[in-house]
Structure 1
């Protein structure tokens, strides 16, 4: 019986190793195919030369802080792959019996938006990692963040922060307010579900999640939160909820 268990265990190990090698090769092939017609550097140069591209110094710091906080708060500390987030999302997915959390970093999301579809395939995730390594090795965190906010979709037909700022608030990315920044930062997770034209109330709830993440990650001061809570002209947020969070 013991020998049988040993053989079975070894068989499983061999099978999983072979499967891993196969998936890795398949992912690498997908990466090569995706970047064969246009390489990463050329793709990025084309994006930067677009008429709606905005450099990072022309984007509201409130917005940049908000989107990093809610999408990838360890962005400046990891190498493109956040193992902690992956582990947390895996546990949540197992508990739910389906995929409800992705655990993707900003760099991974950028890689996906540059070259891949949004389908949940292991091969695609592997291919994505090869692009992530090139991005992290050749571009600074500020460059990666700048590219990310310029290519992601914000709903209602707006791609990139310039279109979203103009389309939603009739302003430029460097002039959006804190409240507007929180709304915009909440949209990329699910643009269709949070699009302001048809799901404004849902987007407001999401923006509170964004603000809570900024409070937890200490990227917004108590004074700023209290100012937001006391602004009678701003009806975006649940003031009681925010006041309670600030006190805690």
Structure 2
């Protein structure tokens, strides 16, 4: 029994050392990224782009749909969501692979603006540090704005205004319920859920968006059942 206890102690010690090394490397990568571009500069670069859309110009349905599918606790967490991370960890362990990341909208903004798209744990730690920094500098509405104005919507569209104009021939403010809930599902997998390239998959994703909106409290069951989704 003694050797088992010693082995467990050794394994625990190794895990602590490994966690410390990963944390240090992640923090180092975060500091290097921040030195290359401040949060204020990042925000300015996105805001200066043509067709930048403020949150006041977005339909509430679209905002609700994005929050429901991407980060339903966005307005209550400090940049990372421990509940989502825990759920993702369980699902990853069950799948035996990295299938879910548990990233918040703030983390996704950090990843897209500062880091590569690889799924290494050190990058994930750096992304978390950057998410905390972004939240300390910008308010929630601004973070949401920057996110929807800099993500890929497929078909060559990299902001909500371009996607709305390209897919529907409208400004974001003019989108109806159907268009809002359709567009909100696209960034999860733009190639697959692109309504031009894959209209059927886009509609299937839209059904998931509606289900998540209901679960998050943005729609009641009657509204969901009565919502006519164009085929």
1:168 maps to what in 2? 167
Write the distance in 1 (CA, Å) between the matches of 2:49 and 2:189: 24
Write the distance in 1 (CA, Å) between the matches of 2:221 and 2:91: 31
Q: Deviations over 1:99-124 (max 9, x none)?
A: 22121111111111111111110110
Q: 1:96 to 1:223 in 2, by over 3 A?
A: closer
Contact 2:80 2:132 in 1 (8 A): no
Matched, 1:30 2:25: no
2:149 maps to what in 1? 150
Write the distance in 2 (CA, Å) between the matches of 1:147 and 1:49: 11
- Give TM-score scaled by structure 1 length: 0.88
Write the distance in 1 (CA, Å) between the matches of 2:13 and 2:87: 28
The gaps in structure 2 that reach 5 residues or longer are: none
Q: For residue 36 of structure 2, give the secondary structure of its aligned residue in structure 1.
A: coil
- Give TM-score scaled by structure 2 length: 0.94
Contact 1:63 1:185 in 2 (8 A): yes
2:68 maps to what in 1? 69
Matched, 1:235 2:222: no
What displacement does 1:201 show?
0.3
Contact 1:156 1:196 in 2 (8 A): no
Contact 2:39 2:137 in 1 (8 A): no
Matched, 1:107 2:106: yes
What displacement does 1:50 show?
1.2
Contact 2:155 2:194 in 1 (8 A): yes
The gaps in structure 1 that reach 5 residues or longer are: 237-248
2:193 maps to what in 1? 194
Q: For residue 153 of structure 2, give the secondary structure of its aligned residue in structure 1.
A: coil
Contact 2:69 2:212 in 1 (8 A): yes
Give every structure 1 segment of 4 or more consecutive aligned residues whose post-TM-superposition deviation is greater than 6 Å: none
What displacement does 1:224 show?
4.4
Alignment coverage as a number of residue pairs: 231
Q: Deviations over 1:6-37 (max 9, x none)?
A: 32222112211111111111111211222222
Q: For residue 35 of structure 1, give the secondary structure of its aligned residue in structure 2.
A: helix
2:138 maps to what in 1? 139
Q: Which has the larger radius of gyration?
A: 1
